[in-house]
Homo-oligomer: A and B are copies of this chain.
Amino acid sequence: MRLSLKDIAKALNVSKTTVSWVLAGQGDKRKISLSTQEKVLAYARKVNYQPNLLARSLTNGSSFTLGLVIPSIGDEFYAHIAREIEMEAEKYNYSLTFCSSEADPERESKIIRMLKSKRVDGLIIAPTKHSRKELDILIEEKYPFVLIDRYFPELDTNYIILDNEGSSHRLVTRLIRDGRKKIALITSDTHLLVMNLRRDGYRRALSEAGLPVIPALYGEVKRSEYETDIVRVLDGIFAEVPDVDGFYFATHYLAMEALRYFYRNGVDITAKVGLACLHTMSSFEILAPRMYIVEQPIRDIGQQAVQILVSELENADDSKKMQTKKKLVLPAIMNFS
């Protein structure tokens, strides 16, 4: 059986309080005699006492657990994010409970409510489009949270995102500098604001170079069945614009599937078409060493997210209402210049 403070107290004929103080390292501060302290410590070690953190959380009102809500832990990007967050959180003695929303707003809402019920101290959320309602509640309740990867500009929340428009602009401009003139944009999940920003960057790059935005070079892939749908999209583009000479992928998995397509169909991805992608996967370096890539600053995102949360938690009492939200737009990491 696992034993409690009370058991120790009883066994040593002291009070729970004494044991609690000593084990909390406040023995000296509370002027508990050295002999008692030793006795308690020795006994606790002997029976391998482990405090019940549930009880402590209930008492203290803080669980030292953070909740992580992401589309899917199986996605390489979010898995890496999770890792960084975990590492940073550990520095502050927080552990992580994660839940995959599957990009389903219903699920996301349920998850957020559940995590709140489990009394996680704060949330890190990569939101899907329609989670607005639940976020409104969080804001109203002053529940600490920070959005990552996606955000809602009209909401006063902490968020950390990539400079999507600027990154897109850099990538497409780079392709143009290589002499590419008919650059296709392959995108998906266009209900997401960040995806619109990426498209905006693409358009700005084209128009700054005096190139037309050709509708036939715009490919939108259905997220839910992207492996097959991208074939349709690419087939379409090659059919309508046979001399397409560049592809800009708005996100990693689109590039991945396109590469599969290019390999299968023998498309020469160094001479015939130039490639660019926002986001990366570890295999791109081999599969398409010439592809221009903007990487998300994963480490930064994770670290900042945790730090923002922790600092809000530490100042929870004094400045609850005065907290000004951090809105971070991080610069891209590029594999080119």
Contacts and interface: CB of A to CB of B under 8 A. Distances in A.
Interface string A70-113: 00111110011011001100000001111110000000000001
Interface in A192-244: none
Interface of A: 2, 48, 50-55, 57-58, 63, 65, 72-76, 79-80, 82-83, 86-87, 95-100, 113-119, 137, 141, 256, 259-260, 263, 281-283, 285-287
Contact of A283 (B54, B100, B137, B282): B282
A50 B116 CA distance: 8
A113 to B, nearest CB: 6
B86 A114 contact: no
A256 B137 CA distance: 45
A91 to B, nearest CB: 13
Contact of A259 (B54, B118, B286): B286
Contacts of A114: 53, 95
Given A113-B50, A114-B95, A73 B83 contact: yes
21 contacts: A48-B137, A50-B113, A51-B117, A52-B117, A52-B119, A53-B114, A54-B54, A54-B58, A55-B58, A63-B118, A74-B79, A74-B82, A75-B79, A76-B76, A83-B100, A86-B100, A87-B100, A95-B97, A95-B118, A96-B98, A287-B287
Contact of A117 (B53, B80, B116, B283): B53
Contact of A73 (B48, B79, B113): B79
A73 B86 contact: yes
Given A76-B76, A86-B98, A260-B285, 18 more contacts: A51-B117, A52-B58, A54-B119, A55-B58, A65-B118, A73-B82, A74-B80, A74-B82, A82-B98, A86-B99, A87-B100, A95-B97, A97-B97, A259-B286, A260-B286, A281-B283, A282-B283, A286-B287
Nearest to A257: B286
Nearest to A285: B260
A305 B73 CA distance: 18
Contacts of A95: 97, 99, 114-115, 118
